[in-house]
Amino acid sequence: MVKSLTTVNILPTAATHQFSVIWLHGLGADGHDFEAIVPQLNCNQIAQTHFVFPNAPSLAVTINNGMVMPAWYDILEMSFERKVDLKGIETSSTLINRIINQEIAQGIAPQNILLVGFSQGGVIALHAGLTFPQKLGGIIALSTYLPEPELLLANRSESNQHTPIFMAHGTMDTVVNITAAQSAFKTLKNLNYPVEWHDYPMEHSVCVDEIQALSDFINQQFDTE
């Protein structure tokens, strides 16, 4: 079992940082995948923000004929009502929680830590964030879904019941169908999480308007005034 994750880091330009953004990539990618997005963000506190891009463990992925690749958990079936690698989701969430705790150990307040995840990474961002024992600043879930809502129900933390959640999805996504994301949004809404929904005419990717919207969301959560 992997005890810790390697990370790609973009350090703040200020001498010390007050904020942390932990950004999780999708299946088969790595920590460099979203590194280039940082200069595109319109974030007020970017000079004081540490961006952490963890590298997922290497796993044999069943739907890809057992090929070993960076993955947060195994994908056993392609169908929507598919079997879910619950153990893998919990294991990766534990690894992300360790990164969160490393930031806290550096003096960053939990409410100044924000999780972002794309696709598979979004699944982990939601699960790790909503089960973390201390209140976090927010969660951004991009082009993703909730593969097993019961797992969240069994493990969710009261501390993050009021943590803001930003969800965004492409209307032309053929990898994670938008209906799966809408179902996740409805589940979170029914559980009384403060979740907001955005969709864009794009495929399984990110777009300029989405980047601006999530920049605004980050600014709202990292507002020091």
How does pLDDT run across 129-184, given as a tens digit for each residue? 999 999 999 999 999 999 888 888 889 999 999 999 999 999 999 999 999 999 99
pLDDT digits (tens, 9 = 90+) for 93-117: 999 999 999 999 999 999 999 999 9
pLDDT for res 84: 83
- Hey, what are 22's tokens? 């932990």
CA 199 to chain centre: 17
Is residue 1 pLDDT above 60, yes or no?
no
Between 59 and 13, name the one with better pLDDT: 59
User: Residues 9-58: pLDDT tens digits?
Assistant: 999 888 889 999 999 999 999 999 999 999 999 999 999 999 999 999 99
8-207: CATH topology is Rossmann fold (3.40.50)
Residues classed as catalytic: 119, 173, 204
With helix as H, strand as E and coil as C, how does the chain read?
CCCCCCEEEECCCCCCCCEEEEEECCCCCCCCCCHHHHHHCCCCCHHHEEEEEECCCEEEEHHHCCEEEECCCCECCCCCCCCECHHHHHHHHHHHHHHHHHHHHCCCCHHHEEEEEECHHHHHHHHHHHHCCCCCCEEEEECCCCCCHHHHHHHCCHHHCCCCEEEEEECCCCCCCHHHHHHHHHHHHHCCCCEEEEEECCCCCCCHHHHHHHHHHHHHHCCCC
Mean pLDDT over 187-205 rounds to: 97
Looking at the whole model, is its pTM more than 0.85? yes
Residues 125/93, Cβ–Cβ less than 8 Å: no
